[in-house]
Homo-oligomer: A and B are copies of this chain.
Amino acid sequence: MAEKNHKIRIKDIAVLAGVSEGTVDRVLHNRGDVSDKSREAVTKVLEEMNYSPNLLARSLASKKNYHFVCLFPSFESGEYWESVDKGFKQAALEFLHHNVHIEKKYFNQFDSQSFVSVSESVLKTEPDAVFIAPIFRNETISFINDLNNLAIPYSFIDSMIENTEFNTYYGQNSFQSGFIAAKLLLSSMPDGSQIVVIRTKRKGSVSNQTLTRSNGFNHYIQENNLDNKLNIISAEFNNNDESGNLEILRQIFKQNHTIRAVITFNSRVYRLAMHLEALQQTNVRLIGYDLLEENVKYLKQGIINCLISQRPDKQAYFTVRDMCRKLIFRQEINRINYMPMDVLMKENIEDYVQFNENI
C-alpha cells in the first residue's frame, strides 16, 4: 500500500485531513500556528499515505538560496587538488537549480597565515555551509569554533579532525591503503629481495596522509614477518631538486643489486618513474598513489605497475551532495565515509578513466 504512493501531493493530504494546504504546509515545516486537532489529523494522514514531497517542486518554489564555500589549497594543473576542484565544479552544476551556489576559496598549503586570512574573509560572507581541507590543524580548530558560534555547518575533505561536529568526512583509509600497497608489492617476493622506500621532505607540516600509509605498509611487513626475509632500503627525496633525486637513486642502484620494488607514499610517483626510466631500471616493480596525469602516463607505459586511487573528485562531489541532502532534502547521511581503494593497472586504467569522466 505504501509502495506506489509517492505521487501523493500536499493537496491530497489536505483533503484527506479536512484542512487546507497551508495547514499541511505548516505541519510539514513545524512552523507553528496549528491547533493540536489539525496537527494530529494531518500527521496521521501524512503517515498513512507515506507522503514524500516532490523535491523538484520544492526547489523550484523555494526562495531560499544556499551559499556554500569550499576552502582548500590552490594548485597547478596536474596536481592532486585539481581533482578536488573538479568534483566541486561538478556538484556546483548539478545543484545549481536547487538554488545552491558554490564559491571556491584557495589558500597556500605551505603558509598557515594564508589559511587564516582566507577563512576570516569567508566568515564575513556568512555562508550556509563550509567545506574545509584541514591542512592546518590549530588554525582549522579556531575557524570551526567561529563557525559553531554562527551555527554554520561544515564538512571536512581529504582528512579530518576528531571530536569536532563536522557534517561529513569523505576520505581515504590511509592505513589500509598502505597495507594493500604492501600486499600488492610484496606478496610472493623472493626472499632476500631489496625494496626501496622513498620519502620526500615537505616544507612546513608533515603530511598525515603519507605517514599513515607508511604505517600501514610497515604493518603488513611485520604481520607477515617479512622484516628478515626482505631488505628495506629507505631514502629521502628533496622537493624541487630532481637532478639531486636522480643522483640519490643512481647511488642506491649502484650499491644494491637485488632491488625488486620501489614505492613512495605521496602522489608524485611519476618522478620515480621518470628517474627509473633514465636509469634503465624499468624492471623493478613500482607502485604509487593517485591518478595524476603524469602517473597515468607512466602506468600506461608499464613503468608504474600499479596506482592506488581514492577518487578525490568524488570525495568533493559527495561532500557537497551530502550537505544538500541534509540542508535541503532533509535526508539522513553517514558522517564518516572511506572511499573505496581502486587498484589500477595498465589493463584497467582506460576503462576507469573513461568511466569516471562519464561519472
Query: Within A8-60, which residues are at the interface with B (CB < 8 Å)?
Result: 54-57, 59-60
Which listed segment binds B: A79-87, A110-118, A240-248, A334-342?
A: A334-342
- What is the distance, in angstroms, from A283's C-beta to the closest C-beta of chain B? 12
Beyond known contacts A7-B96, A56-B97, A57-B60: 9 more, CB 8 A cutoff: A56-B56, A57-B97, A176-B347, A176-B351, A177-B348, A179-B347, A183-B345, A188-B190, A341-B351
Q: Which residues of B contact A190 (CB under 8 A)?
A: 188
Whether a CB of chain B sits under 8 angstroms from the CB of A225 is: no
With A6-B96, A54-B60, A342-B342 already in contact, the answer to whether A180 and B355 are too (CB < 8 A) is no
The answer on a CB contact under 8 Å between B341 and A348 is: yes
The answer on a CB contact under 8 Å between B183 and A97 is: no
- Number of residues from A at the complex interface, CB < 8 A: 39
Assembly CA distance A247 to B243 (angstroms): 61
Q: Which residues of B contact A179 (CB under 8 A)?
A: 347
Copies in the complex: 2
Residue numbers of A with Cβ under 8 A of B are 6-7, 54-57, 59-60, 93, 96-98, 173, 176-177, 179-180, 183, 187-190, 334, 337-343, 345, 347-348, 351-352, 354-356, 358
Can you show 13 pairs from A to B with CB atoms below 8 A apart? A55-B97, A56-B57, A56-B59, A57-B60, A180-B347, A188-B189, A334-B358, A337-B354, A337-B355, A338-B351, A339-B355, A340-B351, A342-B343
- What is the distance, in angstroms, from A25's C-beta to the closest C-beta of chain B? 17
The answer on a CB contact under 8 Å between B338 and A354 is: yes
The answer on a CB contact under 8 Å between B188 and A348 is: no
Closest 10 CB pairs of A and B: A343-B343, A338-B351, A340-B352, A56-B56, A188-B188, A341-B348, A176-B347, A340-B355, A56-B97, A54-B97
With A60-B54, A60-B60 already in contact, the answer to whether A358 and B343 are too (CB < 8 A) is no
Q: Which residues of B contact A183 (CB under 8 A)?
A: 345, 347
Nearest CB in chain B to that of A187: its residue: B188
Nearest CB in chain B to that of A182: its residue: B347
The answer on a CB contact under 8 Å between A340 and B342 is: yes
Nearest CB in chain B to that of A56: its residue: B56
Nearest CB in chain B to that of A59: its residue: B56
Nearest CB in chain B to that of A96: its residue: B6
Q: Which residues of B contact A337 (CB under 8 A)?
A: 354-355, 358
- What is the distance, in angstroms, from A217's C-beta to the closest C-beta of chain B? 12
Nearest CB in chain B to that of A55: its residue: B97
Nearest CB in chain B to that of A357: its residue: B334
Nearest CB in chain B to that of A216: its residue: B347
